[in-house]
Amino acid sequence: MIAALVFAIAVPALTPVLALDIGTGYVNSGLGNVDPRTLAGNIIKIALGFLGVLAVVIILIGGFKWMTAGGNEEQVEEAKKILIAGIIGLVIILASWGLANFVIGQLMTATGTNQ
């Protein structure tokens, strides 16, 4: 009984995967029609956005450690190091974003697919 229920649920779900090309020249792979350059640009933007958020969180953690140091010089120095590392990371991420944006824009312009 359970096997019949699983089969009844699984077969309709797998039907698009089992589709055969019968000569029409079109098979729906589900990947879409996105240009690979656009896809690479979107992936880079998402990754750099995530890293930017991570850098801001690191800066916030450093600020929190500094504010809660209570005058302890060791904790203040550790907080300063965290803040400096976060700021350097943010600068690197922003520079990477600018460079990636420029390169992808130039590729789009050079290949005639400028958005």
Supply the pLDDT for residue 108: 80
pLDDT at 38: 77
Model pTM score: 0.63
Torsional class of 21: left (φ above 0), alpha (ψ -120 to 50), beta (otherwise): beta
Q: Report pLDDT for 94.
A: 92
Could you write out the DSSP letters of every residue in 30-73?
Answer: SS-S--HHHHHHHHHHHHHHHHHHHHHHHHHHHHHHHHTSTT-H
pLDDT of residue 87: 94
Q: What does the pLDDT profile of the chain (115 residues) look like in tens digits? A: 655 545 555 555 555 555 555 555 555 666 677 777 778 888 888 998 899 999 999 999 999 999 999 889 999 999 999 999 999 999 999 999 899 889 888 888 887 766 5
> Tokens 């039907």 sit at which residue?
15
